[in-house]
Structure 1
Amino acid sequence: MKTALSSLLAVLALGSAAYSAAAVHYSSGETSTALLEVYTSEGCSSCPPAEAWLSQLVDQPGLWRDFIPLAFHVDYWDQLGWADRFANPAYSARQRGYAQIGSARAVYTPGFMLAGQEWRGWFENKALPVAKGQAVGVLDLKLDKDNVELSFKPQTTAPTDMIAYVARLGFDLDSKVVRGENAGKLLHHDFVVLSLQQVAAKQPLNWSTRLYPNEQGKRQAIVAWINQPGQLQPYQAVAGWIER
């Protein structure tokens, strides 16, 4: 009996360890990788088609290398009768920030920002452009369990006061909406920003932090980008799957 119990505990321990994030190392290319930021809400009836299109990018060969999608769920539609469980006022503030500096004409959903500039191509049924950015340098990301290490090797002289952002993304998430504009619908989500943290450099062009815990989603990814203080447009970005 003791032997059987010991075996069971060993199996459970192995299962728990397998679900912990394994060590991974990702590097960007020399040219800047574009962030595709999609501002969305479960309370917006226009958003499900945009998110269905976004989900198709999971299988695109250029994912993480040529473009990095993020779905920021905003909270300003929660007042319509359905509170989006993924919404965060900080994400709404980020979108408003783009409008305030003139990078977007207004605050709305679904809203698309590509490499820090408003992109209206989705509304015109255009393919996502994957033009190469400027040669800026390589951003390295190391994730070991929940410990994140970032370092940037600039190709030319780069600002040394840059800050980093680290996001955890969740995939294959469903919500059954019972109120609001999407009442009665089962919504499917990918690239959901589950957490976003700002990280100050521990020394010039080097950052470290612990990834916020959030186990939602059948699959997860990590995204990191850097920019100068007071700016929203990413300078360089890197991303990859979180291995289990």
Structure 2
Amino acid sequence: MKDIKAYAVILCLAIMALVSAAFINKSRVKPAIVTSGQGFAVVELFTSEGCSSCPPADELLARVQKENIGKPVYILAYHVDYWNRLGWKDIFSSADFSKRQSTYAKWLKLGGVYTPQAIVNGQTEFVGSAQGTLRNAIRTNLTKASKTQISLTVLTATKDKATLKYNTDGAADNTVLVLALVQKNTTSVIKSGENSGRTLSHIQIVNKLQNIPLGNNKTGEASIALPHNFSAQGWEVIGFVQNTQTGDISAATRAAFPQTVTANN
């Protein structure tokens, strides 16, 4: 009888040990990573070194970029030029970027433009420093599959020009391929204006834009001029397909530069 009781106790302890081990192992299992399929997010920020409200948006962009490494999230920072008259000329600014922002105001039926302004996939706009809104917009668009496919490759790069090959399968006739030449990061010391005395960090600075109509030309080659401070490691090209009537962006990708830049012929 004592042997039976002892056996029962041992069996009970063994079962408890197995249950405990299973519980511990289960708690150590990492949660599955949920992928976003064919979704993507193009985040366009309209900003300026002359605007005191813009640095928080620039900093948020840098954090979001780190959070989404390896995901199809494409960040573009456009420095507008209409702040230049107020005490500090932003060396990254361009009238072309101010014009693009005004075009968005028409597409999205807005009363005007402002900084910092963020627009995701050409359709959702909000104050660029709104953390929750930005992250939600990215998360939502990463789950939306696109019928348009895009590929972009840098074929050659000299000291002042790059040649690219593109393919935009499924793009509508009323769309353009927008090529953005992007400087990945830099800093600026601001000596006047609203941000006087500050050192500002920038990422994904758009240097120039180039539009290629996609009516009957879904595949082809394009060349883009490179600036004097170009380096293969510090720059990239982001390309996206955009509807010219609504601003909707239906596909996006990026292309790296070859590490060896050839001499000019």
TM-score tier (shorter): 0.7 to 0.9
Tell me if the contact between 2:173 and 2:214 (Cα under 8 Å) persists in the aligned partners: no
Q: Distance in 2 between matches of 1:202 and 1:123?
A: 36
Q: Distance in 1 between matches of 2:115 and 2:130?
A: 15
Q: Distance in 2 between matches of 1:123 and 1:56?
A: 11
RMSD of aligned residue pairs (Cα, Å): 2.5
Residue of structure 2 equivalent to 1:153: 169
Percent pairwise identity = 24
Residue of structure 2 equivalent to 1:180: 193
User: How much does 1:108 deviate?
Assistant: 0.6
Name the SS for the 1:179 alignment partner. Answer: coil
Q: Which runs of 5+ in 1 are unaligned?
A: 1-28
Relative to the length of structure 1, the TM-score reads: 0.77
| Counterpart selection for 2:75 from 61, 69, 73 | 69
1:209 maps to 2:218: no
Q: Residue 125 and residue 202 in structure 1: after superposition, are their counterparts in 2 closer, same or farther (change >3 A)?
A: closer
1:141 maps to 2:152: yes
Residue of structure 2 equivalent to 1:116: 122
Q: Which runs of 5+ in 2 are unaligned?
A: 1-35, 157-161, 260-265
Relative to the length of structure 2, the TM-score reads: 0.71
- Count of matched residue positions in the alignment of Structure 1 and Structure 2: 212
Which has more helix, going by share of residues? Answer: 2
User: How much does 1:211 deviate?
Assistant: 2.1
1:90 maps to 2:105: no
Residue of structure 2 equivalent to 1:194: 207
Amino acid at match of 1:229: T
Q: Distance in 1 between matches of 2:120 and 2:68?
A: 18
Amino acid at match of 1:139: I
The CA deviation string for residues 59-116 of structure 1, in whole angstroms up to 9 with x for no partner, is 23455x4321100000010010111111111111111111123354531111010111
Tell me if the contact between 1:104 and 1:118 (Cα under 8 Å) persists in the aligned partners: no
Q: Residue 212 and residue 104 in structure 1: after superposition, are their counterparts in 2 closer, same or farther (change >3 A)?
A: farther
Larger Rg: 2
1:219 maps to 2:234: yes
User: How much does 1:51 deviate?
Assistant: 0.5
Amino acid at match of 1:72: Y
Determine which structure has greater relative contact order: mean sequence separation of CA pairs < 8 Å that are 6+ residues apart, divided by chain length: 1
User: How much does 1:240 deviate?
Assistant: 4.1
